[in-house]
Structures are given as structure tokens and as C-alpha cells.
């Protein structure tokens, strides 16, 4: 690792390239950015075993391919090749700490938008990013005055860089008003998700989360937690429309996502959620998630790719 956190290598269209050589012409900044779709993947360092585990890599690469397809780009590099390249890259960058991995696909073009059949260029970048699981971090949230983008406008199901304009507006507003994070309502006035994570609440001992047709990114963490709650923890999970006022009467609430991991929401619009602290169900979920992602708990080995 270089001192300044820049990795030694970046993976570009099938080849590992030194960081300083992985460049693109400045004229591509706008058009490349608008066309781009990406993934955010975490790898967790297990200090006892001295091993790095990439979490849910196959699921992330499947969603990456889905985003490329939905944007009508052509993916010339197979997911198997990307997976091999990604593991080689992380290994070559010699991480011995929690790491964030970002595959990105974009069109190199002078035009905004893309023509059908455009071949996606694919880049993978890596950076250290320490987990905040079990750190005691909590969030105070507000319901945003911005609505979540809709499936027939800018589909949140696509992990498109351009969608994060909507996220940025909501996050900036939340912080300006003294909150840590925002919660979006969708165009039907129902609760959707946060700017960069999905939402789960607890009511009467059940976990409730907005359905995948609520204007959310189909989160891999959300799917992981649903499976763990149902099959391992014995907690009932309901996926359905969620009213705004349910946020004000929930016993517990938390954001979930690769970046957010499990982040308890302890107030919404200044009303405490439950006791105003991380709740017991959230704690159980955080604990099992922490142990699984780091490979401390040997269950679900198919979710961890060893580097
Ligand atoms: C808008 C949005 N929703 C949800 C998520 C969570 O998705 P995942 O669990 O696949 O990381 C993310 C990214 O982390 C996101 O950017």
C-alpha cells in the first residue's frame, strides 16, 4: 500500500494497471459519469486468521451485470473474469485491513446517454475502509423533503452513479438541518429507503422493510438480513409498503447496506425511536452480521470469498 491510501493497482478492462496509469481524458468526465453504474463491495479482515474475506461477491457481480443490462450496455467481460480480476487486484494491493471495492462500468463516448449495444468499459478500484460494526455508532434521521426517484424516471433498482444526485440532495439537506441521515418517501408517499442504504424497523417483535417495489435499490445486505432473520435468528420479516407514521411508532429502526452495515436509527424527526438507543433485535442482528462477514462464524461460507 502507498502511504497516501492510493492502491498500487487498478483493474481496467481485464488488466491490472498501475494507479497512475489508469487515466481517462478529461472530456469524458461528464459523459462517462452519467452513463456509469457501479457496485460497492466490502472485504473484511480477520485478524486471527490473517485472512481477508470479500462479502457476497457473487451477488454484487450479478447486480452489476443487471445494472449494465438495464442501461443497455454490452458487457464483454464475464462475471467469472471480473471475479478473478477483482480477487487478484485486492491481493496485489496487499490489504491487511477492511477494504472497499468498487467495480464501475461506463461508456466512453462524446455523447450524453448511451446508444444500444455500447460496450461497457469496466474499472475496479479499491481503498481501505474500516468497518463500524459494534462501534456504537447511531444515527438521528429525518424524513426528507426530497422524494425518492421512481422506477419509470430513474430506476433505483439500477445502481447508477446518476441516481446519487437524488441521494446527495437528501443527505446534504439532512446534515444542514442537524441530522445524520435522511429517509426518503417515494412518489406514492410511502417510506422507501435512505440515500445509500435500506431501512428496517421493528414493530411488535417483527422486522418490517419496504418491499422491492417501493423505489429502493435491491440491497444485498437487506436480502442477507432477511435470510438470516428467517433461517437463523427466528425473527419474522415482513416486506411491504411502509407508512411514514410507522417510523414514529417503531420500537427499533436501522439502516442496512454494504457501506452503512447495520446503523441504528435512534430518532426520526426528533422523536426517539423506542428507548432512543440501539434496540435488542438490532443488536442481535448486528452481532451475527459482524461475525459472519469476518468469518468468525463459519455459517454461510458461500457468502465469503477468501482473497
Ligand atoms: C441507495 C442505496 N440503497 C441501498 C443500498 C444497500 O445496498 P447493498 O446492501 O447491496 O449495499 C445502497 C448501497 O449500499 C444504496 O446506495
Tell me the best of 38, 39, 40 to mutate to test the pocket of ligand 1, counting ligand atoms within 8 Å of each CB and taking the most.
40
CB count within 10 Å of CB 78 equals 11
3 state SS of 243: coil
Segment 161-202, tens digit of pLDDT: 999 999 999 999 999 999 999 999 999 999 999 999 999 999
| Domain 9-128 CATH class label | alpha beta
CB count within 10 Å of CB 143 equals 18
- Residue 104 CA to residue 33 CA, distance in Å, equals 10
Sign of CA dihedral 51, 56, 255, 181: positive
Q: Is residue 86 within 8 Å of residue 56, measured between CB atoms?
A: no
**pLDDT for the residue 77:** 95
**pLDDT for the residue 113:** 62
Any ligand 1 atom below 6 A from CB of 261: no
Which grid coordinates belong to 282?
Answer: 438490532
Residues of the chain where predicted confidence (pLDDT) is lower than 70: 1-3, 110, 113-116
Selecting among 8, 96, 159, 283, the annotated active-site residue is 159
**pLDDT for the residue 1:** 45
Concatenated DSSP letters of 25-93? -GGGHHHHHHH-EE--EEEEEETTTTEEEEETHHHHHHHHHHHHHHTTEE--S-HHHHHHHHHHHHHHT
3 state SS of 253: strand
Ligand 1 atom closest to residue 223's alpha carbon, by position in its atom list: 9
- Residue 59 CA to residue 123 CA, distance in Å, equals 18
Where in the sequence of the chain do the CATH 3.20.10.10 domains occur?
139-293
Any ligand 1 atom below 6 A from CB of 259: yes
Query: Whole-prediction pTM value?
Result: 0.96
Segment 105-142, tens digit of pLDDT: 999 876 776 666 789 999 999 999 999 999 999 999 99
Where in the sequence of the chain do the CATH 3.30.470.10 domains occur?
9-128
| Domain 139-293 CATH class label | alpha beta
Q: Is residue 262 within 8 Å of residue 228, measured between CB atoms?
A: no
Tell me the best of 162, 210, 257 to mutate to test the pocket of ligand 1, counting ligand atoms within 8 Å of each CB and taking the most.
257
User: How far does residue 257's CA lie from ligand 1's centre (Å)?
Assistant: 5
For residue 159, indicate whether it is catalytic.
yes
**pLDDT for the residue 2:** 46
Amino acid at each position: 500500500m502507498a502511504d497516501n491510501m492510493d492502491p498500487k493497482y487498478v483493474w481496467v478492462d481485464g488488466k491490472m494497471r498501475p494507479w497512475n496509469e489508469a487515466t481517462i481524458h478529461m472530456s469524458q468526465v461528464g459523459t462517462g459519469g452519467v452513463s456509469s453504474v457501479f457496485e460497492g463491495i466490502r472485504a473484511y479482515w480477520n485478524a486471527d486468521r490473517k485472512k481477508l474475506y470479500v462479502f457476497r461477491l457473487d451477488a454484487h457481480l450479478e447486480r452489476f451485470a443487471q445494472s449494465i443490462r438495464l442501461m443497455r450496455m454490452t458487457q464483454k467481460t464475464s462475471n467469472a473474469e471480473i471475479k478473478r480480476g477483482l480477487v487478484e487486484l485486492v491481493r496485489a494491493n496487499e490489504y491487511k485491513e477492511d477494504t472497499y471495492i468498487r467495480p464501475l462500468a461506463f461508456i466512453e463516448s462524446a455523447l450524453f446517454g448511451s446508444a444500444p449495444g455500447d460496450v461497457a468499459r469496466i474499472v475496479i478500484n479499491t481503498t481501505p475502509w474500516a468497518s463500524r460494526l459494534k462501534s456504537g455508532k447511531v444515527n438521528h434521521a429525518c424524513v426528507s423533503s426530497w422524494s425518492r426517484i421512481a422506477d419509470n424516471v430513474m430506476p433505483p433498482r439500477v445502481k447508477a452513479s446518476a441516481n446519487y444526485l437524488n441521494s446527495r440532495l437528501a443527505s446534504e439537506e439532512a446534515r444542514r438541518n442537524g441530522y445524520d441521515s435522511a429517509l426518503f418517501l417515494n412518489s406514492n408517499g410511502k417510506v422507501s429507503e435512505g440515500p445509500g442504504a435500506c431501512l428496517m424497523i421493528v414493530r411488535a417483535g417483527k422486522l418490517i422493510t419496504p418491499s422491492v417495489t417501493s423505489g429502493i435499490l435491491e440491497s444485498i445486505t437487506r436480502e442477507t438480513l432477511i435470510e438470516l432473520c428467517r433461517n437463523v435468528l427466528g425473527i419474522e420479516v415482513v416486506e411491504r409498503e411502509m407508512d411514514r407514521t410507522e417510523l414514529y411508532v417503531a420500537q427499533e429502526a436501522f439502516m442496512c447496506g454494504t457501506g452503512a452495515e447495520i446503523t441504528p436509527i435512534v430518532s426520526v424527526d426528533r422523536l426517539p425511536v423506542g428507548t432512543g438507543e440501539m434496540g435488542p433485535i438490532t443488536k442481535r442482528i448486528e452481532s451475527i452480521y459482524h461475525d459472519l462477514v469476518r468469518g468468525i462464524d463459519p455459517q454461510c461460507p458461500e457468502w465469503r470469498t477468501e482473497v
